Structure 1
Amino acid sequence: MQLPFNTFSLSVTNIPLWVTIIGTGLICSFYTALGGIKAVIWTDVFQFLVLFGSLIAVLIFGTKEAGGPSNVWNYNKNHSKLNFFVLNPDPTERLSLWSLIFGGAFNALPIWAVSQTAVQRFLTARTLKEAQKSVWYNLPGNVIMMTIVSLIGLVLFAYYKGDAPHMTTNDQILIYFVSGNLDQLQGLFIACLFAGTLSTVASGLNALAAVTLIDIVKAYRNGRQTITTFPAIDQASEEEAAKRLDYHDTVLSKLFTLGYGILTLALAFVAKYMGTLVQMANTVFGSIGGPLLGVFTLGVLYRRANSGGAIIGLMAGAYVGFWISVGALVNTVNGEVEENAFWLYRISFMWYSTASSLTTIIIGIITSEIIRRLIPDERYKEVDPLLLATFLGNFESLIVSNVVLNRVN
């Protein structure tokens, strides 16, 4: 949420920063609480159109300001900004082909495969095939969006000749460029930033409320069988009881959304002390997204995994991710990690999620095997085949068939 508010502080100086933070946060929390996932998805559609159109406009007018496409391309080429095949295997290399492909995959999978926001969207589809189609349709859209953003970066580098204007953080370079050179696009660009922010925050609020309600409130209720604690429900029919309970859960969900919205507002005020957006994002995904991906991967690919191994693996992965990302932040000076810092702090931010995810998987496997040795009952627990990767089920079926044939023969 901090980025559009920085834009306001640069472009609309007569509006205090705290007013925009509170106003935007309350609006986002309000429509998310009232409309739920349906409101989030439909607002995402319109916000995407604003975001996409704004970036296209900034790219076109920005390229003109920078001297045209040929000037932008040649300047970046002469300064080695168009080297797409950096094959250096050193993990401390900021960006290489390996970190973009493999590290990028580990950064993207937590968002698009196992995050609560993604899963909620998949569940809104009418069928499994529709959910799968949405993923495939999303891929070219992401490629186009990332290409546009990268081209804007080349435009900025060519315009400022590699020497960015004096400012507080690197996050403000594009904001500064639009404010000073593209007056006709200032309003549209502010709408673009707010669209991206509101979309992300609304999705997060809805996901947090859903997780809290289902995994905490309903789990506690089922464990304690608290459905009988409602006097009106005791004497009502089953159908009426279910309706009242649904209404009760709906109200709770809205309250959770508003509560998390207030917490998000508080975090927005302290975000400026956490470095650039890239640093903040990788701190979060390195310490949370990576271990989450690791737990899902462990459960899907390793039949012998158990809950104890998954929990300990998750904690180990989160510790490693948090340790690396925060250590890098502490040792960063002028946007670069100091050369004398511990080598693990100097690895590229593209590898944070990879390190924490692999740690989760490895520690999870080791711990699961130890638990199976110590607790014999863990060896005989059956695993639902639907929870395993399809190819593993086919592979195991093939092995069983071969064993049966060998015994018969």
Structure 2
Amino acid sequence: MQSIDWIILIGTLLFIVSYGAWKTKGSKNVTDYIKGGSEAKWWTIGLSVMATQASAITFLSTPGQAFHSGMGFVQFYFGLPIAMVVICLVFIPIYHRLKVFTAYEYLETRFDLKTRTLAAILFLIQRGLAAGITIFAPAIILSAVLGWNLTMLNIIIGVLVIIYTVSGGTKAVSVTQKQQMAIIFAGMFTAFFIILSYLPDDITFTKALKIAGASGKMEVLDFSFNLENRYTFWSGIIGGTFLALSYFGTDQSQVQRYLSGKSIKEMQMGLIFNGLLKVPMQFFILLVGVMVFVFYQFNASPLHFNPQAAEKIKQTKYAEEFKKLEDKHKEIEVLKNAASLSYASVSEVDFVENLEIKKQIQKVNKLEQNNRAEAKELIEKAKLDVETNDKDYVFIHFILHHLPKGLIGLLLAVILSAAMSSTASELNALASTTAMDLYKRNVTVEKSGAHFVKASKWFTLGWGILAILVACFASLFDNLIQLVNIIGSIFYGNVLGIFLLAFFIKFVKSNAVFVAAIITQAIVVMGWWFDWMPYLWLNLFGCGLVMGIAILIQSIKKK
């Protein structure tokens, strides 16, 4: 990194922190601090909701996911627009009418305190873990690629977020997220057009898509009912809808974003705006990853994208074997380059030649995949203390090795801004839930509004420190974006089922729901542990299970 990159990176982060703290200083009451004074307009809500979900994991993992597996991951988001409509019609009117500070307040109104407390605790567990991961995700990758100290990075990201989130609460989160989304969109669009400009002169965008398609990267829709496939049209529409309903309808980190709306109409418009823009946004980020794949059809790529892994194995007894795999990788790249150029130059009407070269591309890609898999196995065999799965390192490798000066700083600012925006929302929601659902509800002595604002700030600080500790002791999973969604899927279905019982099944009472929720959570954790189904289906499974058990218990009790 050059001096200009450091200036852009540090300047961007300091501007966000100082602007957020200055713009929102002096929240005197709970409504201002937790609900942002209920002044947010629809576009602020929409961008804030989007920024909360679009963590650094999105911009690190998603392009890497597309590089390896293609565009199919976009199906994960197909249920989101459906969920937005349901939340606008059902959830928002109830929350607005009751003037709640958190989603879980409603559960006490409908059931009782123990049900409210249980739902709040389930949220605190899963979101507390997720907050640590959203810090850890960019930190571990930047640490591996740039050589920065991992623990120090975790602390820096966490402290920057804590400063303005403690200072200004919900309004600080919403205000800074608008700036962060502007930086994110600017950075990703810039990266996309630069990738296209780096392709050979005769490779247009259309030809790039053709090459990607020949390699199986443009297969967006999978209508199969195969449960072995994590991402299909049906898992996205059904499982994705239930996950989105749970996340946007019952997760306080999202609910708090639209509870800050000026009116019920502003809240609904904000969510519809998110629903319309989210799928195209994810499609575009995946497309960036596919274009990175096309770029590496014509340019040298490392055998393993995690530089730490490649460096460490060269210091072991497996160094010679790894060197042979690297040499083979270079030979494959020559074949890959020639095949891609040939395929791009063939006329569309020449079906026979198109098919022949397409088969050649697929054969070369298979060789490359097998070679990379051998390298991964070798690194695992060496038992090095490094991450062998390099999906999350693909995009950052491209940024650091191929973007011009200045833009490296901008893209790193994108990644860290995304980490900060998502973490800020999570800390804000964790503190609000702790303050309002656990602390305030169980304080017997009357306290002033200023007291609960101060308590919320202390809880924000406490959750921030805990998130940093989780980040410092975390370990990388298969793919970071999947890890966050897996954690959510373990808890979300159960919580959503509780809310749906509250909304629609009026004869079910609190004790039946409470017992059903505990039983369901144990079964869902067991189902995940023993891999009964792809994790997206856990949302539907948990939701249906808690509703079925609660209805059964209530029916037996009634008889």
1:150 is aligned to 286
Question: Greater shift after overlay, 153-162 or 295-304?
Answer: 153-162
2:158 to 9, 21, 25: 25
In structure 1, distance between residues paired with 2:527 and 2:192: 35
Q: Are the counterparts in 2 of residues 282 and 352 from structure 1 also a CA contact under 8 Å?
A: no
Q: Quote the residue 1:315 is aligned against.
A: 518
2:140 equivalent to 1:6: yes
Maintained 8 Å contact 1:113/1:119: yes
1:369 and 2:555 are equivalent in the alignment: yes
* Counterpart selection for 1:90 from 226, 229, 237: 226
The amino acid of 1:200's aligned partner reads S
Q: Distance in 2 between matches of 1:53 and 1:108?
A: 26
Shift in Å, 1:11: 4.8
* Aligned equivalents of 1:352, 1:161: Cα separation in 2: 38
Tell me the CA shift for residue 205 of structure 1. 0.7
| The one of 450, 455, 459 aligned to 1:256 | 459
Percent identity between matched residues is 25
Secondary structure of the residue aligned to 2:293 is helix
Structure 1 contact 10–176 (Cα < 8 Å) conserved: no
Instruction: Tell me which amino acid in the other structure corresponds to 2:557.
Output: I
Between the aligned partners of 2:486 and 2:255, the Cα distance in structure 1 is: 22
| Correspondences of 1:245-284 after superposition (within 5 Å) | 245-284=448-487
Give the alignment's Cα RMSD to 1 decimal: 2.2
Alpha-carbon distance in structure 1 between the residues aligned to 2:536 and 2:195: 28
Q: 1:310 to 1:283 in 2, by over 3 A?
A: same
2:414 aligned counterpart, secondary structure: helix
**CA contact 2:187–2:410 (8 Å) conserved in 1:** yes
Q: Does 1:171 align with 2:374?
A: no
Distance in 2, matches of 1:87 and 1:218, equals 49
Query: For 1:349, what is the secondary structure of its paired residue?
Result: coil
Q: Structure 2: how far apart are the matches of 1:65 and 1:84?
A: 25
* 2:436 aligned with 1:214: yes
Paired residues for 1:50-69 under 5 Å: 50-67=183-200, 68-69=204-205
Distance in 2, matches of 1:74 and 1:320, equals 46
Question: Deviation at 1:350?
Answer: 2.8
Please say if 1:39 is aligned against 2:172.
Answer: yes
Query: Unmatched 5+ residue regions in structure 2?
Result: 1-134, 307-386
Q: Which moved more, 1:351-360 or 1:47-56?
A: 351-360
* Separation in structure 1 between the aligned mates of residue 439 and residue 540 of structure 2, nearest angstrom: 33
- State the match for 1:72 in structure 2: 208
Structure 1 residue identity aligned to 2:259: L
Residues of 2 paired with 1:216 and 1:161: CA distance?
A: 55
CA distance in 1, matches of 2:295, 2:534: 27
In 2: Cα distance, 1:73 partner to 1:164 partner: 23
The 2-side partners of 1:318 and 1:66 are apart by 50
- Displacement, 1:172? 1.4
CA-to-partner distance for each residue in 1:102-149, whole Å, 9 max, x for gaps? 122122222222211222122211211111111111222212311211
Report Cα offsets for 1:358-404 as digits up to 9, x if no partner.
2222222222323333xxxxxxxxxxxxxxxxxxxxxxxxxxxxxxx
For 1:316 and 1:171, how far apart are their aligned partners in 2? 36
User: Matched residue of 2:508: which SS?
Assistant: coil
User: Post-superposition shift, 1:156?
Assistant: 2.9
CA distance in 1, matches of 2:549, 2:297: 47
- Paired residue type of 2:549: I
1:349 maps to 2:535: yes
CA separation of 1:79 and 1:8: change in aligned 2, threshold 3 A: closer
> Is contact 2:427–2:460 with CA below 8 Å preserved after alignment?
yes
Aligned ranges for residues 277-296 of structure 1 at < 5 Å? Answer: 277-296=480-499
| Aligned amino acid, residue 371 of structure 1 | K
Instruction: Write the deviation string for residues 16-67 of structure 1: whole angstroms up to 9, x where unpaired.
Output: 2221211221121121111010101101111111111111112222233355
Are the aligned partners of 1:114 and 1:293 in contact in 2 as well (CA < 8 Å)? yes
Count residues with an aligned counterpart. 336
Q: CA deviation at 1:273?
A: 4.2
Relative to structure 1, the CA distance from residue 58 to residue 3 in structure 2 (aligned partners, 3 Å threshold; closer, same or farther) is farther
Of 129, 135, 153, the residue aligned with 2:271 is 135
- Counterpart code for 1:78: A
The one-letter amino acid paired with 1:61 is I
Secondary structure of 1:61's match?
helix
Alignment partners' CA distance in 1, 2:529 and 2:297: 32
Partner SS for 2:547:
helix
The answer (yes or no) to whether the contact 2:180–2:417 under 8 Å persists in 1 is: yes
- Matched to 2:397, the amino acid is Y
CA drift at 1:7: 4.0
C-alpha separation in 2, matches of 1:74 and 1:202: 41
Deviations 1:131-170 (CA, angstroms, capped at 9, x unpaired) = 1111111222212311211201212333345997413332
